[in-house]
A and B are shown apart, each in its own frame.
Chain A
């Protein structure tokens, strides 16, 4: 597990985003145990209080749950996981739209550019599969 941290963004937010992404792409499975606060702090070389904050927030958001003193578990609520995936997509689109509209490009051209970029990417991945 490794995260490239942005030094100008709260670390706990970056940790939560990392977990959401990993859950959304299925790298971390629902029902899976997550590392203890201390273990994750050691792995990521960050402050344990920061991990504590991230886990608390994730718990409140229904991303993980903890049963007594046992390790925390990723939610088994499939709707919640779907929501996480959708919110990540919305976030990425919002981010993209905000940047691209500030460049004042016609809508048709944006769609065309996105289309050709995606085609390019899928061609590349085909090539890599050969």
Chain B
């Protein structure tokens, strides 16, 4: 389980996170929802140890962040970090050389899942396919937890559908997924938990099936109450 407890973060005098507390379980898909500036990306970067935080605590399976614990996590940023000149297969080679937990077999499987070819050059991919390759690079890692920053942002509907299909597939089986988004409609039925953020605080954390069953509300109904209440 990834657990955040009262995490605070400032950039200069500006508060970004004002005591963020929530949990993300293994085997579940946890979705951080919020408008731009709510603190979603900063939360993922804090979990990855990419940005220091001032107060609070982050633990992974009960342990504080350390290089050893960090091997359990893979982080997929919202923009491609590979060289555009590379072909996909060159990118695979690069990953193979630099990351011990790179799983080549899984990478090829995901490539087929997305109907992409190893020969394709990254600079020539469409926006949607670029997003898929970006996602692939993280998904192919052997890691217990996967953090995805805005995987649906700015891409066409069919690419969004294909990416959404990942969440019901064995590609994330038994892993813990944290995904950030400001658009929930593509994945409303795919997530286990929703964490609603606003101005660096968690406004509400809930299991989606439970609010449907107990309160007869959709995820968007709850969002409306929380954000427009």
B112 within 8 A of A: no
Identify the 6 closest CB pairs spanning chains A and B, nearest first. A10-B213, A7-B218, A41-B168, A10-B212, A46-B189, A8-B218
- Binding-face segment, A19-27, A48-56, A59-67, A78-86: A48-56
Known contacts A38-B170, A45-B165, A49-B28, A9 near B189 by CB under 8 Å: no
Known contacts A7-B188, A45-B165, A50 near B216 by CB under 8 Å: no
Main secondary structure of the interface of B (DSSP, over half): loop
Question: Residue among B168, B189, B218 with the most chain A CB within 10 A?
Answer: B168
Complexed CA–CA distance, A16 and B11 (Å): 50
Residue ID in chain B nearest A13 by CB atoms: B213
Contact B217–A8 (Cβ < 8 Å): yes
Question: Residue among A8, A46, A49 with the most chain B CB within 10 A?
Answer: A8
Residue ID in chain A nearest B29 by CB atoms: A47
Contact B217–A45 (Cβ < 8 Å): no
> Which size class do B's interface residues fall under?
20 to 34
Contact A49–B27 (Cβ < 8 Å): yes
On chain A, the number of residues with a Cβ less than 8 Å from chain B's Cβ atoms is: 19
Contact A38–B173 (Cβ < 8 Å): yes
Instruction: Kindly supply a per-residue 1/0 record for chain B positions 29-47, scoring 1 wherever the CB is within 8 Å of any chain A CB and 0 otherwise.
Output: 1000000000000000000
Complexed CA–CA distance, A11 and B220 (Å): 15
What is the minimal beta-carbon distance from A40 to any residue of chain B, in angstroms?
Answer: 9
Contact A8–B213 (Cβ < 8 Å): no
A5 within 8 A of B: yes
A42 within 8 A of B: yes
B190 within 8 A of A: yes
Which residues 181-229 of B sit at the A interface, judged by CB distance below 8 A? 188-192, 209, 212-213, 216-221
